[in-house]
């Protein structure tokens, strides 16, 4: 099924992915907080948390544009990492540079001696990355199977001091875009990984410790299937809302009514001041349109301040923020060989 306006949904879907991928690493920002901040509203969340999530958005959007000029490569991974780690708490971790020291994975405070996993030493790092890059350009495997293998091996190599998980999850989306599996960047797996975090780490560790590729790939392809259905469901429901709202205001002479509704698809939050500046219209023009939107139940005021009031299309936000549905799904060996 083709969506009538997927371009409107790319922005909130990218931000949803940024929030959930960062949450796996301990950042607590919500999608609503990120979208509200971008709309010009004041939020209580730590600026550091919002900056980390915002950097993920910047890195992903940069990577999508960069693919038009260069292929997926070690060079692009470094460029993504540089943007991801800029001016955040992990900024000490040599943004854009592969590590020159040993790192390890384990519970907070653990040492190299009791780590759960120890990646290759710095002396072997570039050799491992060279082989990984060769496999990145291989064309002999089904793309979805290859995406799963590439992600697993990237995490096993752990080439950066910090930010490896986020770069590795960025890689999945960029790989599927480069291979023309995704015509629009609307499929993201961080929601699935975050909802099944224990399985995610166990399956990755199963590959590195016991070579359990089949188990990892079944898990990965299950995530692709689940998130494909999830993304389509959310997109269809949002488009249905937009269509209904466009019809509601069709007979009303609002100068920017239709434009504002499309904007709510990109960000369900809006402030009058920022909207007037964005669309280069008078403040009162936006105010009149939003007042009509309130009357029809399209938006609700969510601020308490008299000035710079904040409004939200809660029906859209609810669709974006609802938890991922983990419906049981079994990948057969035949499907695994075909990459679904």
Q: What residue segments make up the domains of the chain, in order of their start?
A: 7-229, 231-321
| pTM for the model | 0.87
- Residue 87 is predicted with a pLDDT of 87
Q: pLDDT tens digit string along 148-207?
A: 999 999 999 999 999 999 999 999 999 999 999 988 788 889 999 999 999 999 999 999
Q: Which residue has the tokens 């996993």?
A: 117
258, burial (CB in 10 Å: exposed 0-12, middle 13-18, buried 19+): middle
For residues 306 and 297, give the distance between their C-alpha atoms in angstroms, rounded to a whole number.
21
**CA-wise closest residue to 51 among 74, 18, 98:** 18
- Residue 47 is predicted with a pLDDT of 80
- Residue 306 is predicted with a pLDDT of 67
- Residue 332 is predicted with a pLDDT of 54
We find that the CATH architecture of domain 231-321 is Orthogonal Bundle (1.10)
Q: 59, 77 in Cβ contact below 8 A?
A: no
Highest CATH level, class, for 7-229:
mainly alpha
- Residue 334 is predicted with a pLDDT of 55
In which element (H, E) is residue 311 found?
A: strand 310-312
Q: 310, 36 in Cβ contact below 8 A?
A: yes
Q: pLDDT tens digit string along 42-59?
A: 888 778 888 889 999 999
Which residues of the chain, if any, have pLDDT below 70?
1-7, 89-91, 305-306, 326-340
Q: 335, 220 in Cβ contact below 8 A?
A: no
- Residue 307 is predicted with a pLDDT of 72
Strand order, beta sheet including 310-312: 269-271, 310-312, 300-301
């Amino acid at each position: 099924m083709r969506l009538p306006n997927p371009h409107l949904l790319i922005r909130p879907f990218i931000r949803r992915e940024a929030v959930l991928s960062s949450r796996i690493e301990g950042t607590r920002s919500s999608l609503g907080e990120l979208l509200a901040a971008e709309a010009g509203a004041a939020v209580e969340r730590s600026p550091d948390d919002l900056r980390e999530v915002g950097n993920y958005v910047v890195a992903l959007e940069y990577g999508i544009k960069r693919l038009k000029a260069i292929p997926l490569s070690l060079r692009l991974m470094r460029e993504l990492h540089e943007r991801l780690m800029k001016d955040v708490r992990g900024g000490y971790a040599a943004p854009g540079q592969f590590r020159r020291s040993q790192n390890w994975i384990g519970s907070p405070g653990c040492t190299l001696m009791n780590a759960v996993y120890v990646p290759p030493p710095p002396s072997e790092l570039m050799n491992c990355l060279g082989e990984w890059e060769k496999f990145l350009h291989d064309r002999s495997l089904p793309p979805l199977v290859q995406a799963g293998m590439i992600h697993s091996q990237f995490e096993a190599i752990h080439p950066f001091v910090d930010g490896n998980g986020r770069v590795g999850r960025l890689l999945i989306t960029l790989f599927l875009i480069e291979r023309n599996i995704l015509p629009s960047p609307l499929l993201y797996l961080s929601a699935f990984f975050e909802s099944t975090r224990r399985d995610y780490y166990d399956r990755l560790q199963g590959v590195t410790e016991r070579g359990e590729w089949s188990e990892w790939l079944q898990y990965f392809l299950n995530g692709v299937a689940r998130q494909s259905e999830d993304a389509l469901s959310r997109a269809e429901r949002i488009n249905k809302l937009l269509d209904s709202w466009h019809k509601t205001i069709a007979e009303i002479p609002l100068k920017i009514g239709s434009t504002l509704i499309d904007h709510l698809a990109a960000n369900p939050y809006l402030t009058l001041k920022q909207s007037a500046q964005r669309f280069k219209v008078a403040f009162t023009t936006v105010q009149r349109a939003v007042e009509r939107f309130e009357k029809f139940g399209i938006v609700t005021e969510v601020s308490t301040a008299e000035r710079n009031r904040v409004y939200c299309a809660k029906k859209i936000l609810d669709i974006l923020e609802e938890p991922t549905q983990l419906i049981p799904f079994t990948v057969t060996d035949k499907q695994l060989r075909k990459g679904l």
